[in-house]
């Protein structure tokens, strides 16, 4: 979707995949990560995510939990079962479910759970601190 970093002060340019059926939030997150120098792509749900990672190999994924077709929990499980994708940093996010949903997300394989609504800048900083250095996954599609 996006060609590459557009600036920012970070030395590395992690690739970020935002998976959320709530398009206004996905666009805001996309813009915020691009402003930090990230290469960003978006997917509408778990099925779209699994299709996108065939050509876009992210260093980290922000995954909404409540989505149609294939929800975030099952998508996280599928990613963790695949040796090509199991090392991707996955941050689960959701507006509902509280601590029970957080427990389920972490058990499915998420590295972090962020409840919605969240403060964009703080969340971006937290997520980027978890990102591996650019190029550690090769930056190539599979």
Give the CATH number of domain 15-130.
3.40.50.2300
10-63 confidence digits (pLDDT tens): 446 899 999 999 999 999 999 999 999 999 999 999 999 999 999 999 999 999
Mean pLDDT of 62-77: 95
Q: Say what the pLDDT of residue 13 is.
A: 85
> What is d(CA 34, CA 57) in angstroms, rounded to the nearest whole number?
16
Alpha helix (H) residue ranges in 14-81: 23-35, 46-52, 72-81
Mean pLDDT of 95-123: 90
| CA within 13 Å, CB half, 88 | 33
């Amino acid at each position: 979707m996006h060609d590459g970093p557009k600036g920012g002060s970070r030395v590395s340019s992690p690739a970020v995949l935002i998976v959320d059926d709530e398009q206004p939030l996905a666009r805001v997150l996309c813009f915020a990560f691009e402003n930090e120098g990230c290469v960003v792509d978006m997917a509408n749900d778990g099925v779209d995510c699994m299709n996108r990672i065939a050509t876009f190999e992210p260093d980290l994924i922000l995954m909404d939990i409540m989505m149609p077709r294939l929800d975030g929990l099952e998508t996280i499980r599928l990613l963790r079962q695949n040796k090509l994708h199991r090392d991707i940093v996955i941050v689960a996010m959701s507006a509902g479910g509280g601590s029970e949903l957080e427990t389920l997300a972490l058990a499915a394989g998420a590295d972090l759970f962020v409840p919605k609504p969240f403060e964009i800048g703080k969340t971006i900083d937290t997520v980027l601190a978890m990102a591996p250095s650019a190029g550690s996954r090769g930056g190539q599609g599979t």
